[in-house]
Each structure stands twice: as C-alpha cells, then as structure tokens.
Structure 1
Amino acid sequence: MNTPPPVALSIAGSDCSAGAGLQADLKTFQHHGVFGLTAVTCVVAETPAVVRSVHAVPPAILQDQLRVMLDAFPIAAIKTGMLFSKAHIVAVTEILSEYRGIPLVIDPVMIASTGDPLLEENAISAYKERLFPLASVITPNLDEAEVLWGAPVRDELTMERAASELSARHGCAVLLKGGHLGAPVCADLLWDDGLPEWFRSDRIEGAASHGTGCTLSAAIAAQLALGADLHQAVQDAKAYLGETLRRSFAWGGIAALNQGTVWD
C-alpha cells in the first residue's frame, strides 16, 4: 500500500475563475505533494478583472466542515484565506483553539486585486483579538499591514517596524510582503522570534497578480505540512510563486496564474 501524503487544510473562499481562493490552494498543495482539504467560507463569483458577487456560507456549516475533517484526517498544517466576516472568524477560532499543535498560516485577506472589499470592516478586530494569537505566521501585504498596524508602510524601514510590532503584539511570526512598494526588486520580510530575514527577488514584469497571496500562503502551509521549518518554508514558497508568475498567462486580457500545472 502506498504511504499517504501529508494533509493540509485550506479555510477560504471559492474563486470560480480558479486563480485564487480554495482552487489555487488545492493546485498548490498538489504541486507540493500534499493532500488538500477545504472548508468553504464564501462562494465568490469573480474573475481576475471583477468581483461580481459574494455568497457567505453560514458559520455553523463552516464549523461542521472543520469538525468533520479534523476528526477524520491527520491534518499537518492549516491556512486561512478569505474569512469575510467577524462571525466566520469567530467560528474558525472556536474550532482551531482546540488544535493549537497544528501549524497555522493566516493570510488576512481584505481586498481583492480588483480593489473590491473581501472582508467586513468589523471583522478586523476579530482577526487581531481571536485568530492571530493562534497563528504560526501571518502573511499581510502592505495595504493589509497598514490596517493591522495602524500606520502607513511605505519603505523597508517601516516594514521592519511594522513586522516587529505586529509580531510582538500577536505572539506570532509575520511575513510582510513588500511587492506593493513597486521597486524592481520585491522584498518580503519574515520577522520570527525577534529576528528579521529578508527574501528578495526580481520583479517579473507583466506577470498576473491574481491569487499570488493565496498561492504563497498555501505553499508555506504545504511546506510546513512536509516538515520544513518556517524559514525554509518561506524560501521554498517564494521560489514556487516566482515560477508560477513566470508561467502566468491570459485569455483575451483576463490574467490567470499557472499554479502547479505545466503547460507545454
């Protein structure tokens, strides 16, 4: 009998265009040799160009998805993506607080790449007070970090200040993504146990951006499920994301990411 692969769980929204959300996470998990499970928080009618509508799954149904999978599978890592509302964050926290030994990667999804909001405003406090204290690492981009930190993040110096203070405030590692600085070299900062580590890569011009945050956090979760430490997980996830960006493509101006699939 074949040895079963490690198992990772994504708690996120469904993106019908399959470049972000649960669909991107599953592609990423499979690429890394990890068996992916999902708990659906929202069904989103979207493409990389527009978010048409969002239908939230009732929090009780979300909890039922989590309970049945945590009871049935040896889950080795968990990631969260779009959680949408305070009620959904509370629902997730109530369950995951019983499973603190499982590495937890939190991508605090707030705004789509189209600019459409993906999080109700009153949910931000629930992230800070309830979910972040359970995290192994949170992965905000600069816009999300400004909301969470409470001040603009416009350069590498303020990135260090923000990551340091967010890490101390919430008791977890912080991967602060610097792609929105717009520099020729994209600089991401991992702050872990009081120590900074920079990950730098050349900006890939013309690459699709839809789903990059989902893909990166899913790749980190996959690597943690495989037994990597956080620093190695981030390094490998960054390399994987770079490859998906180099392979990104479009249909009639609609950009997508080639996540985990080789198109020759």
Structure 2
Amino acid sequence: MTSKVLPCVLTIAGSDSGGGAGIQADIKSFQERDVFGTSVITAVTAQNTTGVQGVFPLETKAIEQQLDSIGEDFKISALKTGMLFDVSTIALVVDAIKKFSWENLVVDPVMVSTTGHILLEHEAIETIKSQLLPLARIVTPNIPEAEHLTELKIDKDTDIIRASEKILSMGSHSVLIKGGHGRSEIAEDIYMDQTGSLIRLRSRRLETTNTHGTGCTYSAVLAAELAKGREMEEALMTAKRFIQAAIEHAIPLGHGHGPTYHAAYRHHGIKEDVRCDHETVDLFYHGNK
C-alpha cells in the first residue's frame, strides 16, 4: 500500500498555554484540514481564557535554529506567521523565507490580545510593513490590526476599502480584512488583491464570548488550503465556513473568552452557508508599491 503524502505547512507563532490560539490552534487546524503541521515557536505565553499573564520571547538563536531545522528537512507548501513580537524575530523569518524559497505565505499580524495585552512591539509594525508584507500571498488583519497597519480609522465599508488599498500598496499580493469586530448582524470579511478583485464573504454574526483563537484558526486553515493547491477563493470559502462552525460550536471552558471548537466543521458543518459576492475596484495606486 502506498502511503499518502501530506502537504507540509509551517506555523511561526507563539505558544498559547490555554490551547485556544497560537501554535496550538494552528496545529489543530492543520490536522483538521488534512495537512502535516510543523512549527517554529517565537515566544511562550502564560495565558488562559481570562487573558495573557506573561509573554516570554525566545532568544534569537533558538528561533533561528528552529527555522533552519524545518527548512533543511521539510518541503513546506505553505506557511503562516502569527505572533512575531519584535524586529529581530521578523528579520529572522524574512531571511528564512528567502533562504528556503518558501511560498504561499499567510501573514496574520497578531498585535494585541483580545484582553488588550500587547503582543507586538511598536517598532516591529514598521518592519512587518516594509519587509514581511511584500513576501505575503495574503495578509489577514482584523479591523483593529488593519487600523494599526494603515493608521486609518475604520468605521464603515468605504474605510475598509481604503485600508485594503493601503495594505496592498505595501506589497502583499492580497488582503483579507476580517469583520469580527463589527456590530452588524452580518459578519463580513472583505478580500482584495492586486488586480482589483474584491470578494465579500458574509455569514451570520453569532452572539458569543467564546471566540479565543479565531484569527489564528482562520489564517491556519487558509494556509492549509493553499498548501493543497486550492485557488484563493476556494481557500477563503473553506476557511470562512470552518471558523463559522468553530464559533457556532465553541467550547465554554474557563472563566473568560473560551476557545472555538476546531473539530466542529468536520462533525457538524454549518447551519447556514457563507455568501460570497464579487466586485471589481480601481486601485488608487494602480498597482505601484
């Protein structure tokens, strides 16, 4: 019998001792989407559903050796970045991506935890914008993260379009601004790419506090689907459905923001399908970075 060869996917992120986000959420998501997960841990966090109690960045040598160990032995079909914390870590990641010619980079620009704990040094934001985003196939900020990246206030639909254009001007091939922080009955995520293609992914907003790790999970599923050779729209739809199911069947653990349920899409599917609408926009910068 011939063994099945699984695509290998790499997550470069922080460890979440509570198991709902970070490396732990990514590995669970990879397993659910039938890819083989590898990891580079950038920091160890002490956290649970009530918040982040401590962040302990790994020394640069430890991060560098992890990157080299993966790059010298595995064929990485896609990768995602999460918590990178500081400038030196971002520089190591950028160097490794170039050194090993890794493609299908999904950048989840983790900056602040749900409870307000800073997970990215201020100086590192500029390094992400200038060095990491030009390597990305897609960057997946939520609305507060998009505001940090663009220095724009996002209140309405036209603000999201402007922010998307500004992020694209930094060099990323595409951007997905997630609408989980919105207040309407519909949770709308907006995708744009360098061609001016715009896709609106809409699902019913769910009233729950058990949303810990949603951003990590969403981006991990995207990376898994791209590793399998899926086209971007198909990957986006799968990721949106996956996270909708994970929130619908979230696990009420702990005393704060509980985790989502990573096996929910496989076990339960979703109650209502995701709507997907297409538009085209004229990019203000005409593709010039």
Structure 2 length as normaliser, TM-score?
A: 0.88
Deviation track 1:144-165 (CA, whole Å, cap 9, x = no partner) reads 1111111101111110111022
- Give 2:6's aligned residue: 5
Paired with 2:9 and 2:212, the residues of 1 have a C-alpha distance of 22
Partner residue, 1:258 = 261
Contact 1:15 1:44 (8 Å CA) reproduced: yes
1:141-160 counterparts in 2 under 5 A? 141-160=142-161
Q: 1:218 to 1:31 in 2, by over 3 A?
A: same
Deviation (angstroms), 1:263:
8.2
The 1:263/1:240 distance shift into structure 2, 3 A limit, reads closer
Cα contact 2:133–2:170 (8 A) shared by 1: no
- Choose which of 198, 210, 213 in structure 2 pairs with 1:211: 213
Q: Is the 8 A contact 1:10 1:79 kept in 2?
A: yes
Q: C-alpha displacement at 1:207, in angstroms?
A: 4.9
Unpaired runs of 5+ residues, structure 1, are none
Structure 2, gaps ≥5 residues long: 269-289
Match of 2:246 in 1: 244
Partner of 2:71: 70
Task: Indicate if the aligned counterparts of 1:82 and 1:118 stay in contact, CA closer than 8 A.
Answer: yes
Q: Measure how far apart 1:196 and its partner are.
A: 1.0
- 1: distance between equivalents of 2:52 and 2:233? 34
Contact 2:9 2:37 in 1 (8 A): yes
Looking at structure 1, the residues matched to 94 and 203 of structure 2 have their Cα atoms a distance apart, in angstroms, of 34
RMSD: 1.5
Alignment of 1:112-131 (within 5 A): 112-131=113-132
- Say if 1:160 and 1:49 are closer, same or farther in 2 by CA, change over 3 A: same
* Aligned residues of 1:155 and 1:181 also touching (Cα < 8 A): no
Q: TM-score, normalised by structure 1?
A: 0.96
Q: Is 1:182–2:179 an aligned residue pair? A: no
Residue 232 of structure 1, aligned match among 231, 234, 237 = 234
The corresponding residue for 1:223 is 225
Higher deviation after alignment, 25-34 or 223-232: 223-232
Q: What is the CA distance between 1:100 and its match in structure 2?
A: 4.1
Q: 1:197 maps to which residue? A: 199
Aligned 1:20-99 pairs, distance under 5 A = 20-99=21-100
CA deviation digits over 1:108-134, x for unaligned, max 9?
000001111101111011101111111
Letter paired with 1:251:
L
Query: What is the aligned length?
Result: 264
Cα deviation code 1:22-67 (max 9, x no counterpart) = 0000000000000000000000000121111111111221121111
- 1:83-115 Cα offsets, whole Å, 9 max, x none, are 011111111111112344511000000000111
Q: Give, in whole Å, the separation in 2 of the partners of 1:34 and 1:171.
A: 24
